Amino acid sequence: MNEKVLIYSPLPEERIGELAGHFTVVTARPDSPEFTSKLLTATGLIGRGLEVDARLLERAPLLKVVSNISVGYDNLDVEELTKRGIMATNTPDVLTETTADAIFGLLIATARRIPELDKFVKEGHWNSRLHPSLFGVDVHGKKLGIIGMGKIGQAIARRASFGFQMDILYHNRSRNVEAEKEFDATYLEMDDLLRQADFVCLMAPQTPETIGMMSRREFELMKKSAIFINGSRGGLVNEDDLEAALKDGEILAAGLDVYVQEPIAKNHPFLDITNLVTLPHIGSATAETRANMEKMACRDLIAALTGERPGALINGEVVAGRV
């Protein structure tokens, strides 16, 4: 059978050519009229951000693999894919260090009010010594609480511990002995971490259990001098409660790279909050890292459709024949 790959989001010509060397390649945006007809005969699907659920899979009877160009895969119904014997892959590891750079940069930018003060200078307001009301807060030597000590969480902790002599606190589904040894990290229950940390960095995956995990109660537990950073997924935060916490002085400031709805609406209240730094989901957004993610996704798609086990297979039970 001639395998047919449907590309639904942009890929560079080099990657398209690589796939075309093995399979028939077709392209269609999910919102295009031809997407459904092309999906009907596709055995491979590759791109980023598409909601792959039972409804979509009903329209893809020949599908064998979905290659997600992202480390996160909350857009995939893995249980449904597994039930149908369809492999699912993602792109972990290649974006770990780049994402950690971005999130730690966001932490520094928020603490030192860099975007706000950049605007202050460019608008011509810097005409005398900086008033203390515009001072930021120190990062070095503070307590960093990381919620979700996975690979990216560890990379952030490494920067904080060795670069800024920060004390590392963390909360995770299970203890991370490696982090405790390398960074002298201290495991705490969630509430204790929120009470003690000067910076709270949310890096947990989005699951049904973590949706809305940071809400009014959690922000009230934090120090009024604390800064909140979200580099995971927007759905983990109750945005109304975060808005209130910032405006009411429950926390000092926040930095976000992710939102419930992306792109964020032009009238979103976050855009009028001066003690909130907003980034457009740039975690892995460097040319080098995106290229490596695309290369990895194509490699695993080729493996899946040529009888090999993909390197970043999410649902290994499909290959093991235990569906």
Cβ contact 323:85 at 8 Å = yes
Cβ contact 12:294 at 8 Å = yes
Q: Which helix (H) or strand (E) holds 257?
A: none
Written as one string, the DSSP assignment of 69-125 is SSS--TTB-HHHHHHTT-EEE---STTHHHHHHHHHHHHHHHHTTHHHHHHHHHTT-
Rg (the chain; Cα; Å): 22
Annotated active-site residue in 34, 262, 288, 317: 262
Annotated active-site residue in 22, 29, 158, 281: 281
Catalytic, 233? Answer yes
Catalytic, 112? Answer no
Sign of the dihedral defined by the CA atoms of residues 251, 255, 257, 259, in that order: positive
Annotated active-site residue in 15, 171, 233, 290: 233
Closest C-alpha to 207, from 150, 282, 269, 254? 150
Q: How many CB atoms lie within 10 A of CB 187?
A: 17
Q: What distance in Å separates the CA atoms of residue 205 and residue 233, rounded to the nearest whole number? A: 7
Catalytic site positions: 233, 262, 281
